[in-house]
Structure 1
Amino acid sequence: MGSSSLEIQQQDDPKTQGHDIDEEKNFDIALGHEMSVQKPDFAVGEGITSFEEVGEMRQGLHQRHIQMIALAGTIGTGLFLGSGSALVNGGPLGAFLSYTIVGMGVSGVCLAVGELGALVPLSGGMVRYAEIFFDPALSFADGWNQIYGTVVGLPAEMVAASVLVSFWIEVNNAIWISVFGSLVMITSLLFVRVYGELEFGFAILKIALIIIVNITALVITCGGGPSGDPIGFRYWKSPGVFAVEYMGYTNNLGKFMGFWATMVSACFAYSSIQGFANPAAETRSPRRSIPMAAKRIFIRIISFYAISIFMTTLVVPSTDPHLLQESGTASQSPFVIASQLAGIKVLPSVINTLLICSAWSAGNSFMLSSSRTLYGMARRGFAPKHFMRLNRFSIPYVAVAFIGVFIALGYMTLDNTASTVFTWMQSLVAVSALVDWIVVLITYLRFYYGCKAQGISRQELPWASPLQPYLSWTALSFFLVVIITNGFEVFLNGHWSTETFISSYFGIAFVVVLYFGYKVIKRSKIVSLQDMPIREFIEIANANPEDPPKPKKGWRKLNILWE
């Protein structure tokens, strides 16, 4: 691309509380030539050392908030409840391998998002990156895919929270779905700083829960429980490292199919894990905070997901009758079952309380990520402009309200088919997550080769993720195989299920129709490698350096979580 002078026009602080933001007043970046994508919105006001998207979404999230949100923000029912079905279908080794392998692929996704987010910190995350570095049609399709995944995933979290409450008291779950749904809505409509502090606290609680569970499992395994019986690897030997059978198949093929079926549970557990970059415009020092969050994803996956699943498989047999209840509720938590089997009376209630907080927290993460995605889409014309309306706290309240309406889907689980409905929700969210991860990796690879085509060294970027492009190609290949085969059981002789087929493949058709529909109607084109505005973003980053991090003092030198 030719050299260009960046003419960043200053404008007065727009007061966008409760009314639409005028797209005509956006800051214009004059690139000196025609571009095949819409010009991105940036402002560089006095005293601001990071990108700030026009719209005055307040930068209320500090580094510790974004670090802890990335560290434990989306840990919820996928790990604490969904792991039950994974253990049943795949056995102890199958569950451990599926969560670990999917986690490795997701690490590649998060590193790619971190690199893009450090260069282009805009609200909406991948919706914005896909438009700039690939095709507006892909941005449109994936944006609505993310929204669709959220409107299914959010009620699933609320249902899970209500099921957990029934551990103590049996009342109509509609009451608790309404209570937790209201809490999520209230939290999401306040200052983003309130959300940040709340999630900061929840993240600490979830980390404490995981530590408690793992230490307890280790003690029980070694014979430190009330029974004094050392378990060791007893449940790996009997009933075995893989499930005894899957859908009637008892040979090695059945064991492999059971293991592969756990991939959906693992994908559900990791859904929205890459959403830490979505509130980039509300994050202080995003070029430092976002990469730091991305780099810690791998440690988080090993420390939280892999180790927790492994320790649970040691103390809960895959054939335990309580793992999958047919009483109209979702799977019971294997973490609670482990404590009950060991005869520890108080611990199950403690764990259950923290599990409820985790479900609430995961619901908050879904809401923040999706509302900012919807806001970002509205800014680009991919959604109605009403979703750009901000309240007095600079929160896109119309977007929050729209997402919140779908919490009512949780009421579908109130009859005797609740466990089936929850399974469908889990599958729908998992496929939506897979689609989003694939879009992330495709967009990132286009960006990577765009840099090479323009002669841009990776050392010029604000942050360059490691092992690229090999990590992205490997993850992309793996996720493509998973998304194509995730509903394989419906093709087995005598196991056809229309509902399972739809929940397994609707997400793919949904995105394909949106992508090609947009291209036909809007006649969008894939951005060529030479036309990507990579150099312009680098120059903006270089012209607006962030303040250096403050040196650690005292006890902060021991803090490895968010500093």
Structure 2
Amino acid sequence: MEAEHNSKLRSEEDGGSVDKAIHATADGHADVVSATERAHLKQGLEQRHLSMIALAGSIGTGLFLSLGGSIQTGGPLGALLGYAVVGAIVCAVQFALGEVSALLPVTGSFVRHADYLIDPAWGFAVGWNLVYGNVLSIPSEISAICVLFQFWTDINSSLWIMIFIALTFAIGVVFVRAYGEVEFAFASLKLLTIIFLIIFGLVTNLGGIPGVERIGFRYWNTPGPFVEYIGTGPWGRLLGFWSVMTSAVYSFAGCESLAMAAAETRNPGRTIPRACKRVFFRIVLFYMLAVLVVGMLVASDDDRLNDYSGTAAQSPFVIAVSAAGYSAVGSVINAIVITSAWSSSNQALLSGTRVLYALALKRQAPRFFLRTTSWGIPIYCVLFFTAFMFLSFMTLSSGALTVFYWFVSLTAAGTLVSWSTVLLNHIRLKTALRRQSISASELPWNNGWTLYSSYVALVMCLVILFTGGFSVFTAGRWNANSFVSSYLDIPLVIAFFVGWKVIKKTKWVKLEDLPLREAIEQARERAQQAEMEQEAEDALKGDRRWLKFISWIWD
């Protein structure tokens, strides 16, 4: 109560300057980092937190649980190619996000960037779409946790739902640095698990375990590298490969949230680009190796991959370990995957609450969402998302894995909209620089090839978005639930955009009028100040060269 009272006092005392800052920021004529963010949010996240949070959010249930379905419908090579294509899109998204966020490090990241670079109506639409996506993402992870616990016990899922709602809420209300440290630990555990699984899988595959014969690429020959899905021949194999896309997008979802708490990050002009660049390579490395190894260990026609199993026993990692005679290791993996799912729900909570805070900052959400605790947490945003966590109880009336896959489709569509916005923001920024005769080299971070990769990735995102539910349009496969979960997001975003544009009569941002020169100067000033603070902090910490043995993961 005391924290809330202090927060209320700060909001009232700073009311006039807050209003002014919000208005000026939305119009693009003042420092994009508003007075509200400076006054109420705490800069508790460092580069190691950002890098590991992005890894923690992306290496979760999508990789551990839904990869089996990808191999089943696309085959080992089809799944590998599908994840490779989406991984290339992620590369473009990460670099685009890093370049724009280094210049405009604001809470809400690309949602606020859309206001500044495209149209306030699009910022409103993609912001609420992201809130909606994270509202669904958290219960999807909790649904996955229920699936994973069913691997061990038949205890009613309501117990696990209540426990993890309480734990997720607790993490959401602590100081953001404490959240960063928790996620840092979880991400480290997940990375160690992935490395272990890749090494164990290769040893098993090559016959390194006594009593287990060498497999090699046997399953690539029989039943084959591709699976015919819906159709036959080359067309069926193409559809099998394309069916992997939605699961791959869901698996990579979360990497775009890296800069969501930019205003709570130290020296964002340096840390965000470095984290974007390094996180991409680590995600792709771990994903590609994991998909390759699992495709070598598990046949695409293995009955245990069927969704109706209803437990984590259908996870390809558990299948591979159990086949080698190490069933106890399967339980250990299951426990780590549970922490992964919880970690992903924490990441979704951080992303969603900061977007909602950013919407309130822009007067596109109720003002009470701006209230923060004395330690800088937007408390009403956290309470809002906590209320929707109870959607997890849907698993009690339907199969937990069925509900999980509903959420996969719903979340994947929202992720593609977010990625498209990141890419469009980047294209608009580069176009505005050209029209104002400002060299792109003046940006805090710039890469000459990224404009072209953003165009290609944007086209790919839109194609995957509109074809994600293609199977429901084929003969005899119509399913209302699948259609809604695949395409509901598109009319929602359009309705948000058109509705706000009509009500507020917003206009497309004129690229010639963007105050880019001022933004670049402000970025330089922030970088100089941050460098001075970092040097002073490093001097106090002393020699820590021993950390270099492990810091390559995040630094």
TM-score tier (shorter): over 0.9
- Match for residue 554 of structure 2? 562
CA apart distance, 1:30: 13
TM-score (norm 1): 0.91
Note the alpha carbon deviations across 1:494-520, whole angstroms, 9 max, x for none: 222222111111111110111111111
CA distance in 2, matches of 1:182, 1:19: 28
Q: 1:30 to 1:400 in 2, by over 3 A?
A: closer
- Match for residue 311 of structure 1? 293
Note the alpha carbon deviations across 1:447-506, whole angstroms, 9 max, x for none: 110011111111211111451210101101111111111111111122222221111111
1:42 aligns with 2:28: no
Q: 1:27 to 1:541 in 2, by over 3 A?
A: farther
Task: Choose which of 119, 122, 125 in structure 2 pairs with 1:138.
Answer: 122
Residue correspondences, number? 540
Give the counterpart letter for 1:24 in structure 2.
G
1:107–1:298: 8 Å Cα contact kept in structure 2?
Answer: yes
Task: Choose which of 153, 168, 178 in structure 2 pairs with 1:194.
Answer: 178
Give the counterpart letter for 2:371 in structure 1.
R
CA distance in 1, matches of 2:131, 2:142: 17
Give the counterpart letter for 1:340 in structure 2.
S
Q: 1:487 to 1:319 in 2, by over 3 A?
A: same
- Match for residue 71 of structure 1? 55
CA distance in 2, matches of 1:158, 1:500: 21
CA distance in 1, matches of 2:8, 2:375: 8
CA distance in 2, matches of 1:484, 1:331: 32
- Aligned-partner SS, 2:518: helix
- Match for residue 229 of structure 2? 246
Q: 1:24 to 1:324 in 2, by over 3 A?
A: farther
1:86–1:95: 8 Å Cα contact kept in structure 2?
Answer: yes
- Match for residue 387 of structure 2? 405
1:16 aligns with 2:7: yes
Give the counterpart letter for 2:16 in structure 1.
E
2:57–2:254: 8 Å Cα contact kept in structure 1?
Answer: no
Task: Choose which of 134, 139, 142 in structure 2 pairs with 1:158.
Answer: 142
1:77–1:359: 8 Å Cα contact kept in structure 2?
Answer: yes
CA apart distance, 1:228: 2.9
Note the alpha carbon deviations across 1:291-336, whole angstroms, 9 max, x for none: 0011113312322111111111111111111112315557832111
Provide the aligned C-alpha RMSD in A: 2.3
Q: 1:29 to 1:57 in 2, by over 3 A?
A: closer
TM-score (norm 2): 0.92
CA distance in 1, matches of 2:306, 2:428: 43
Mapping 1:427-438, distance limit 5 Å:
427-438=409-420
Which one is further off, 485-494 or 86-95? 485-494
- Match for residue 463 of structure 1? 445
Mapping 1:467-546, distance limit 5 Å:
467-544=449-526, 545=528, 546=530
Which one is further off, 361-370 or 437-446? 437-446
1:379–1:385: 8 Å Cα contact kept in structure 2?
Answer: yes
1:322 aligns with 2:309: no
Q: 1:483 to 1:330 in 2, by over 3 A?
A: farther
CA distance in 2, matches of 1:441, 1:181: 33
- Match for residue 395 of structure 1? 377
- Match for residue 291 of structure 1? 273
1:226–1:342: 8 Å Cα contact kept in structure 2?
Answer: no
CA distance in 1, matches of 2:517, 2:26: 13
CA apart distance, 1:160: 0.8
- Aligned-partner SS, 1:326: helix
Mapping 1:53-132, distance limit 5 Å:
53-132=37-116
Give the counterpart letter for 2:229 in structure 1.
Y
CA apart distance, 1:418: 3.7
CA distance in 2, matches of 1:182, 1:420: 24
Structure 1: stretches of 5+ with no match in the other structure = 1-13, 45-51
- Aligned-partner SS, 2:446: coil
2:121–2:497: 8 Å Cα contact kept in structure 1?
Answer: yes
Structure 2: stretches of 5+ with no match in the other structure = none
1:83–1:334: 8 Å Cα contact kept in structure 2?
Answer: yes
- Aligned-partner SS, 1:90: helix
- Match for residue 419 of structure 1? 401
- Aligned-partner SS, 1:26: helix
Give the counterpart letter for 2:545 in structure 1.
G
CA distance in 1, matches of 2:220, 2:342: 33
CA distance in 2, matches of 1:87, 1:395: 41
- Match for residue 347 of structure 2? 365
Give the counterpart letter for 1:25 in structure 2.
S
1:329–1:413: 8 Å Cα contact kept in structure 2?
Answer: no
CA distance in 1, matches of 2:208, 2:311: 32
CA apart distance, 1:34: 12
Give the counterpart letter for 1:393 in structure 2.
W
CA distance in 2, matches of 1:393, 1:529: 38
- Aligned-partner SS, 1:309: helix
Q: 1:30 to 1:380 in 2, by over 3 A?
A: closer
CA distance in 2, matches of 1:147, 1:168: 33
CA distance in 1, matches of 2:246, 2:276: 23
1:215 aligns with 2:206: no
2:143–2:401: 8 Å Cα contact kept in structure 1?
Answer: no
CA distance in 1, matches of 2:8, 2:150: 41
Give the counterpart letter for 1:302 in structure 2.
V
1:41–1:53: 8 Å Cα contact kept in structure 2?
Answer: no
CA distance in 1, matches of 2:496, 2:150: 40
Task: Choose which of 153, 165, 180 in structure 2 pairs with 1:169.
Answer: 153
Q: 1:85 to 1:182 in 2, by over 3 A?
A: same
Which one is further off, 319-328 or 199-208? 319-328
- Aligned-partner SS, 1:241: coil
Give the counterpart letter for 1:404 in structure 2.
T
Q: 1:214 to 1:180 in 2, by over 3 A?
A: same
1:447 aligns with 2:421: no
Give the counterpart letter for 1:73 in structure 2.
G
CA apart distance, 1:417: 4.2
Give the counterpart letter for 1:423 in structure 2.
Y
Q: 1:15 to 1:331 in 2, by over 3 A?
A: same
1:154–1:407: 8 Å Cα contact kept in structure 2?
Answer: yes
Which one is further off, 524-533 or 494-503? 494-503
CA distance in 2, matches of 1:149, 1:265: 15
Give the counterpart letter for 1:42 in structure 2.
V
Which one is further off, 342-351 or 19-28? 19-28
CA distance in 1, matches of 2:54, 2:525: 28
1:121–1:281: 8 Å Cα contact kept in structure 2?
Answer: yes
CA distance in 2, matches of 1:340, 1:436: 38
CA distance in 1, matches of 2:26, 2:222: 63
- Aligned-partner SS, 2:506: coil
CA apart distance, 1:381: 0.7
CA apart distance, 1:24: 2.3
CA distance in 2, matches of 1:95, 1:15: 53
Q: 1:210 to 1:536 in 2, by over 3 A?
A: same
Which one is further off, 64-73 or 75-84? 64-73
1:17–1:393: 8 Å Cα contact kept in structure 2?
Answer: no
